């Protein structure tokens, strides 16, 4: 692999990290804490000067559920596999997923995304709505 390829790949990963950070409405300092690195180290990653470490990628996945494949290659899990999983899940799980997507797109419109601990609170709220829907309370 040539140095040019490495630089291009590093810049693309840096761009995707910045997109993730901005979509989550986090400052560079807040995002560096998510990654478990110093602010100055993160600035070097975002500028493409340095590469993100495996440890930081693990933290990003654990705290924000961001795929390493997405950061490194711009790819996510194959859509057909995801769709197959949706087709084969229960009706309750499908409804939960629908409500989760509604929350996601509502937040996306406002350009805010939740950290993993906030997502669990959202999931509890969605489960409450789902239970009420199943009981015919809506």
Four-CA torsion 19, 125, 76, 29, nearest 10 degrees: 30
**CATH at residue 56:** 1.10.260.40
Instruction: Give the residue-averaged pLDDT of 121-136.
Output: 80
Range of the domain at 20: 3-73
The predicted-structure confidence for 55-105, as pLDDT tens digits, reads as follows 999 999 999 888 888 898 887 656 667 788 888 989 889 988 888 888 877
Residue 61 and residue 99 in one domain: no
Residue 65 and residue 110 in one domain: no
**Of the residues 46, 73, 100, the one at which a domain ends:** 73
Residue 92 and residue 122 in one domain: yes
**Of the residues 54, 73, 92, the one at which a domain ends:** 73
CA distance 65 to 112: 15
pTM value is 0.58
């Amino acid at each position: 692999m040539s140095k040019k390829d490495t630089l291009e790949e590093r810049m693309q990963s840096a761009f995707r990290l910045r997109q993730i950070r901005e979509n989550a409405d986090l400052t560079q300092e807040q995002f560096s804490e998510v990654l478990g690195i110093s602010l100055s180290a993160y600035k070097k990653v975002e500028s493409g000067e340095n590469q993100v470490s495996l440890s930081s990628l693990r933290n990003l996945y654990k705290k924000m559920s961001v795929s390493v494949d997405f950061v490194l290659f711009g790819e996510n899990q194959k859509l057909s596999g995801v769709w197959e999983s949706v087709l084969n899940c229960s009706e309750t799980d499908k409804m939960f997923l629908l409500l989760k997507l509604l929350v996601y797109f509502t937040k996306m419109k406002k350009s805010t995304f939740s950290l993993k601990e906030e997502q669990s609170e959202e999931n509890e709220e969605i489960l409450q709505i789902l239970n009420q829907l199943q009981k015919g309370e809506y």
